[in-house]
Amino acid sequence: MAEKTDPPVILGHNLWGTLTHHFGSDLHHHDVADGPDRIYMDYNATTPVDPEVVRVVTDALTEAWGNPSSNYLPGLKARDIIYHSRDTIARMVGGKAADIIFTSGGTEVTARVEVEDVIAAIRPTTSLVSIMLANNETGIIMPIKDICQRVREVNKQRAASAPKILLHTDAAQAIGKIRVDAHELGVDYITIVGHKFYGPRIGALFVNDPGTTTPVYPLFFGGGQEHNFRPGTENTAMIAGLGKAAELVSSNLAEYEAHFLDIRCYLEQKLLAVFGRDKIRYNSHFPGSDILPNTCNVSILGRGLQGRRVLSTCRRLLASVGAACHSDRGDQPSHILLNCGIPYHVATNALRISVGRSTSHEDVDIVVEDLRDTVEQLERMN
């Protein structure tokens, strides 16, 4: 595995996210932006809302508009929808309904880590370890289960006066792509983000038996909603949509995962066939590390082939060079890639291509041809 240049991130985490309720629209990936000739392959940034989710949201807006705390029919309908969604989301991550607290979204903070680095970074005052389950740029899946086992050993050895170390993982990129089970992983908290798995832009926090086994404290105060952990009248329609998106994941995960892997492998094979091994560098292929089935972080080597320049020249491909929330960094290479030991000139040329449920082999053929034409054009200009 590549040598890291920075220590792992062990920190408090913004569990509540940002205040956004917009939920997108029912679009095929070819129609996401700039007309039907564009092919969207940036599903790690956001996904279109599944048509079944749109239907559920629309039904909730029209039929369950009442306050869930009220006892008349529209309020009772809203309350039932929220309970059903809470239960569905909990089952998706191996929990129970009482473990789910609805939030407005989720935020990603962390880099690629190794188990021994995490354990070595623990201090006597450490009370929380927070690590993303899968990195949004490289797709590398973190060894969360192993980290949790080691942290439990540390907790057993700690003095009674020392705080128990709790474990949180941001599963935004993992849910809907690989199996996520809180109890198998051994975590206390999981961040769930709807717009990463074809749901609305709303989130949820899994807490293992909140307030009893696992502490959780409110950031806001007012009414008693969400068991007093997050007051405010519930956003019934978005919660309904999140529940439906979770139901689709629970029912179809094996199919989704197999499709993602097939398309990603086909993409990587086509890139190698067209550009050759001397010109292609895959930035997620590290011995002993698993990666998300849908994510390809690749650099096309050569002068003047910076990732942003390539994407701005492409006629068909819609992708990104890294995390959408860090898109203001100009041509600076990703610190994630640099920390993974990727050379600067390789990281500068990186493209993050992430495929979705409807991405086809034909889409891949078109995108690789587009990249070939773009690279030839840029090389002539150089």
Phi, psi for 27 (deg, rounded to 5):
-130, 145
Locate 76 and state its tokens: 């009772």
CB neighbour list of residue 290: distance below 8 Å, 6 or more residues apart: 140, 141
DSSP 214: B
To the query of whether residue 325 is one of the catalytic residues in this protein, the response is yes
DSSP 317: E
Tally Cβ neighbours within 10 Å of residue 72: 9
Phi, psi for 190 (deg, rounded to 5):
-135, 130
Phi, psi for 210 (deg, rounded to 5):
-60, 135
Is-contact 117 4, C-beta < 8 A?
Answer: yes
Distances (CA, A) of 51 to 28, 77, 252, 262: 10, 22, 15, 24
Question: Measured in whole angstroms, how far is the alpha carbon of residue 142 from the centre of its chain?
Answer: 13
Locate 48 and state its tokens: 């279109």
Q: CA 302 to CA 307: how far, in whole Å?
A: 11
- Among candidate residues 148, 265, 325, 340, the one labeled active-site is 325
The vertex-208 CA angle with 202 and 212, nearest 5°, equals: 120
R_g of the chain computed on alpha carbons:
22
DSSP 332: P
Distances (CA, A) of 259 to 176, 256, 290, 356: 12, 5, 17, 9
Q: Name residue 16's amino acid.
A: W
In what helix (H) or strand (E) does residue 379 lie, and over which residues does it extend?
A: helix 361-381
Q: 3-state class of 290 per DSSP? A: coil
- Cβ-in-10-Å burial (0-12, 13-18, 19+) of 59 comes to middle
Locate 139 and state its tokens: 């797709």
What residues are labeled active site?
Answer: 325
